Structure 1
Amino acid sequence: MNREWPRRLRRLLDYALPLCMAATLVSLLFPNPLSPWIARPTLLIYLLVQWRRKSKLAKGLLLFIAALSVLISSQSDNPLPQFLAAWDRFCFFATFVSALGLLRVSAMRSRLVRHAGQVLIRQRPAWRYPTLSIGTAVFGMIINIGVIGLFGSMVQRSNSLSAAGGERRVQAVRERRMMLSILRGFALVPLLSPLGVTMAVMLSNMPSLRWHTIAPVALPTAVLMFAMGWLLDWVLRPRNLKVPPVDRRSSKPLWQFTALAAVITSAVFLCGWVLDVRLPVAVLIACPLSAFTWLSLQRRRLGGGTGARRAAMLLYRHSRLIFGANRNEVAILGGSAFLGALLVPVIDRDMLAEALLHTGLYGPWFAVAAMMAVILLAQIGLNPIVSVTLIAGLFADTHEIGLEPVVLAVALMSAWSLAMITSPFTAAMQVLEQLLQRSSYMIAWRWDGLFFWIIVPTLCVWVFVLHSFLG
């Protein structure tokens, strides 16, 4: 009996995050005083239980916000309302990350995802970049960072020495071109995905914006980045290289997955329209339901029924692994949201706007400076989640600094995209470093360095073009 109690207690602790998610969603849909007081302590329990397994960055950020909280408490007469509001933001983003994580669980168990990925890998060299890049962007909307590991491992398996005709040079060239295609495709996700963390951060910190106001500007920006990457891949393609024939497969799985991604995205928009809620809140509802439905359909193959019971049992038995896998994303994204909600109210934005005017960082110049700050800070290890949250939260109305909100939003989203694929410290680079057994510095700064130096000034000019059209 004495041994049974620790097991039961541990089992209850495994459900801390799901309970936080449910309470947060209820408080958003049906505001009441009880739900937040369920979400707040359960999130704290989750963070404490997962502490030992967190990354150094996640631990450092949580310790920093704890120290900052103590400092602000000592300077304020009544800090409790500000802390509760900031902690509620933490709960929201923890729920958001975990909702997307459930979708990733279903995707990584899907045969359709594996088959569609194989179709992307087995393309003719001339079409490999656009298919892999666009395919990674589409898959990344559903799987997020998991797409790097999935496609990266497929590239390694398909790019064997025998498949390269016994030529190690062919093998190395194919590996580099395909990995850069995947990496640059992943960079398009923050600009394209209405389901992603980037969009949630922008819409939460810039209340005047909606997805339908950002999309007409973000989508052409993504097209520009894609076109520059494809052009560079074509210009730098190896000449006089004997390429072995490619064993192509039916493209049916790829179109099926694209249709599935469209259905899930449509479900989010439909949910937002029917319930009259903002897009990030609709994601919290539609994505877990879509994930459970998808998982249930997979479980049907085991024989009979709808598969819902088997899917529920899988989530129940593996809850520790499923929700524990999000520990670092929850800590970093939620902690960044908490930090932004804590710091922004104490900053005198009128004084800051006046200072920016005197320094010349006004209008599009501020957007360019903000973009460069996010990219440069990422190179020394500061996650773009932190820098973008703080910058986006500085001005509820960017007209104070002579700038349209959507221009600043797209500049920050572009910076987030570039930071993900140029910083050696990001999750994408860490995954590729393990897969390729190469330094993340080599991948980010040598393999993709030329793309970075071309695309950054291009995007700076693009910001001024957007400002002239929208200002």
Structure 2
Amino acid sequence: MSRVLVPAAVFLELLALCLSSIALSAFAGVLFVFYFALALRRLQSYSRYLFLISLVVIGYLGFIRQLAAEDLVRAASNAAFYAAFLGSLGMMQCLVRRFEVLQRIHDVLLGGRPALLYPKYAVVSCGVASVLSFGVMNLLCGTLSETLRQRGITGASRLRWLRSVLISTLRGFALVPLVAPTSVAVAIITREVPSLSWSGLLPYGIGSAVLLILVGWGLEHKRFRRVSGEREPLEAWPAGSGRLLLLVLIIFAAMGLLVQLTELKVSVAAMLTVPVVTLLYMFWHDRSPAKAVREATDNMLGMSNEMSIFAGSAGLGVALVAVIPADALAGMATGELGVFLLAVCGLLMMPMLSAIGIIPITVLSVQAGLMPQLVAEGVNPLPIAVALVIGFSLAMMLSPFGPAVMLLSRFGQVSRWVVAFGWNGAFVLLSIPLLLLMLWGIFVVAPATG
């Protein structure tokens, strides 16, 4: 019986987004909570503890009346949105099993000049993730593990493939907050500070993304050369490529229509379009709606750990922001140097807290919730917003308990500690000084000499 709770909750959240119903969204959040409570023993330890901590904190604050009824509803609604975010876009994995070109996408991407493979993977991953979010992790990670299994690639060679391909996928995915309007980080910040916009953040995001790609390119290009030599060259496009292209065009066209004809954002349009088109194709391809529904349900349940982390973090972030004093940052930023130092603290705080288990979305929810206080004091929010977006991007790569790293770890069968610190530690440590130097030049040196 509990199996139906997750797809039912995802469906209700998608319906709530269509109807703009906060009450229905909160009810979907309750269903998610009920399922995670029933599945508590099957969740991984961090997912279980974060879920319990979130429930205890929200319940206690509600009991002592530190949270109003609307805060509790918002916490449930946010939990439902982010859990459904993963569940709906994760349906992309169901398409992978039905298209040879997706199963061999790594042979496609590994073609061309070996020296350009890292930036190619990073840019493609970022581009797909800009629309499909975690769907790109399911797509690229899922197909790689299947490719390695089919070819019998094991040992050091397998680890080299995993490190090169999956880490470039993760780093490309982590560029989304810097350049995409669909990023949850941009959505959180611009919601709290309406004077900020994605277009205003974009130039700084592009500069940061270029720096991150260059650092990763320098670290990974030699390993990628060896991986490229082990690929199977494609003599022709795999069967079904044209049908897949048509399906992708339908998804993008439907998303575009939703954005143009409604007030839905691109990320919400993707949440609605991907599962609907995927299910319709599964019905047509398999001629068995019951089989398709079972597969979709199993696919969602396979992401229970990541969904519980997102849901728990979203609810906890709402609760913490609601109880922080309204004057907590009074007088902390004076002058351009003071604003820059506050921005640096915000940037560094995110990867540091992520490294000890507090995932980025929780930290950003609290940090962004404090920004209106600074705006009220006349502080320019742009440097701080840019720093927070950069910090969020870095934290996505350094958080061993974040959904992105956990998905990569699960698909690659590699420890999340190895992914976060062994594969990304040096990358983040090299990137931070360069990013801080860029921010110093833009927001301190340039205004002083202008």
Same fold (TM over 0.5): yes
- Seen in structure 2, the aligned counterparts of structure 1 residues 331 and 223 have a Cα distance that, compared at 3 Å, is same
Alignment check: 8 A CA contact 1:368 1:411 kept? yes
- Seen in structure 2, the aligned counterparts of structure 1 residues 155 and 140 have a Cα distance that, compared at 3 Å, is farther
Q: For the residues of structure 2 that align with 1:255 and 1:408, how far apart are their CA atoms?
A: 45
Alignment check: 8 A CA contact 2:126 2:175 kept? yes
Q: CA deviation at 1:439?
A: 5.2
Q: CA deviation at 1:189?
A: 3.4
Alignment check: 8 A CA contact 1:207 1:396 kept? no
2:87 maps to 1:98? yes
- Which residue of structure 1 aligns with residue 233 of structure 2? 248
Q: For the residues of structure 1 that align with 2:413 and 2:26, how far apart are their CA atoms?
A: 46
- Seen in structure 2, the aligned counterparts of structure 1 residues 435 and 75 have a Cα distance that, compared at 3 Å, is closer
- Which residue of structure 1 aligns with residue 173 of structure 2? 186
- 1:249 maps to amino acid: L
SS at match of 1:145: helix
Q: CA deviation at 1:375?
A: 0.6
2:318 maps to 1:334? no
Q: Within 5 A, what are the aligned runs for 1:39-54? A: 39=28, 41-54=30-43
Alignment check: 8 A CA contact 2:306 2:406 kept? no
Alignment check: 8 A CA contact 2:137 2:408 kept? no
- Which residue of structure 2 aligns with residue 62 of structure 1? 51
- Which residue of structure 1 aligns with residue 74 of structure 2? 85
Q: CA deviation at 1:341?
A: 1.9
Q: Residues 339-397 of structure 1, C-alpha deviation per residue, up to 9 Å, x if partnerless?
A: 2222213222324232x238998312222111111111111122112112211222236
TM-score normalized with structure 2 length: 0.79
Alignment check: 8 A CA contact 1:102 1:288 kept? no
Q: CA deviation at 1:262?
A: 7.5
Alignment check: 8 A CA contact 2:189 2:385 kept? yes
- 2:359 maps to amino acid: N
Alignment check: 8 A CA contact 2:106 2:144 kept? no
- 2:138 maps to amino acid: G
Q: CA deviation at 1:448?
A: 4.1
- 2:218 maps to amino acid: L
SS at match of 1:272: helix
Could you tell me which of 266, 271, 277 is aligned with 1:293? 277
SS at match of 1:217: helix
Alignment check: 8 A CA contact 2:50 2:309 kept? yes
User: Which structure 2 segments of 5+ residues have no match?
Assistant: none
User: Which structure 1 segments of 5+ residues have no match?
Assistant: 1-8, 163-167
Q: For the residues of structure 2 that align with 1:182 and 1:425, how far apart are their CA atoms?
A: 17
Could you tell me which of 8, 23, 26 is aligned with 1:16? 8
- Seen in structure 2, the aligned counterparts of structure 1 residues 105 and 218 have a Cα distance that, compared at 3 Å, is farther
Identity within the alignment, %: 25
Q: Residues 198-249 of structure 1, C-alpha deviation per residue, up to 9 Å, x if partnerless?
A: 4444444444444444434323322221123223445x6799x999586533
Q: CA deviation at 1:177?
A: 4.2
Coordinate RMSD, CA, aligned: 4.2
Could you tell me which of 297, 320, 338 is aligned with 1:362? 338
Alignment check: 8 A CA contact 1:344 1:393 kept? yes
- 2:142 maps to amino acid: L
Q: For the residues of structure 2 that align with 1:293 and 1:98, how far apart are their CA atoms?
A: 15
Q: Residues 298-347 of structure 1, C-alpha deviation per residue, up to 9 Å, x if partnerless?
A: 65455xxxx7xx5x544533454233234333322222222222221322
Q: For the residues of structure 2 that align with 1:297 and 1:105, how far apart are their CA atoms?
A: 10
**Most deviating of 436-445 and 135-144:** 436-445
Alignment check: 8 A CA contact 2:122 2:168 kept? yes
- 1:348 maps to amino acid: P
- 1:323 maps to amino acid: M
- Which residue of structure 1 aligns with residue 371 of structure 2? 395
Q: Within 5 A, what are the aligned runs for 1:15-414? A: 15-28=7-20, 31=21, 35=24, 38-39=27-28, 41-76=30-65, 79-107=68-96, 109-141=98-130, 142=132, 143-147=135-139, 149-150=141-142, 152-153=144-145, 156=148, 176-234=163-221, 248-249=233-234, 264=251, 267-277=254-264, 279=265, 282-297=266-281, 300-301=284-285, 310=288, 312-354=289-331, 356-357=332-333, 362-396=338-372, 398-400=374-376, 404-414=380-390
- Seen in structure 2, the aligned counterparts of structure 1 residues 214 and 62 have a Cα distance that, compared at 3 Å, is same
Q: For the residues of structure 2 that align with 1:91 and 1:246, how far apart are their CA atoms?
A: 41
**Most deviating of 415-424 and 371-380:** 415-424
SS at match of 2:358: coil
TM-score normalized with structure 1 length: 0.76
- Seen in structure 2, the aligned counterparts of structure 1 residues 42 and 179 have a Cα distance that, compared at 3 Å, is closer
**Most deviating of 220-229 and 106-115:** 106-115
Alignment check: 8 A CA contact 1:268 1:283 kept? no
Q: For the residues of structure 1 that align with 2:377 and 2:99, how far apart are their CA atoms?
A: 48
Alignment check: 8 A CA contact 1:188 1:222 kept? yes
Q: CA deviation at 1:456?
A: 0.7
Q: CA deviation at 1:145?
A: 2.8
Q: CA deviation at 1:463?
A: 2.6
- Which residue of structure 2 aligns with residue 416 of structure 1? 392
Q: For the residues of structure 2 that align with 1:268 and 1:339, how far apart are their CA atoms?
A: 31
Alignment check: 8 A CA contact 1:363 1:401 kept? no
**Most deviating of 81-90 and 257-266:** 257-266
Q: Residues 158-215 of structure 1, C-alpha deviation per residue, up to 9 Å, x if partnerless?
A: 99779xxxxx998876765445434433332333444454444444444444444443
- Which residue of structure 1 aligns with residue 427 of structure 2? 451
Q: Residues 409-440 of structure 1, C-alpha deviation per residue, up to 9 Å, x if partnerless?
A: 33223223222323444455455556666655
Alignment check: 8 A CA contact 1:61 1:335 kept? yes
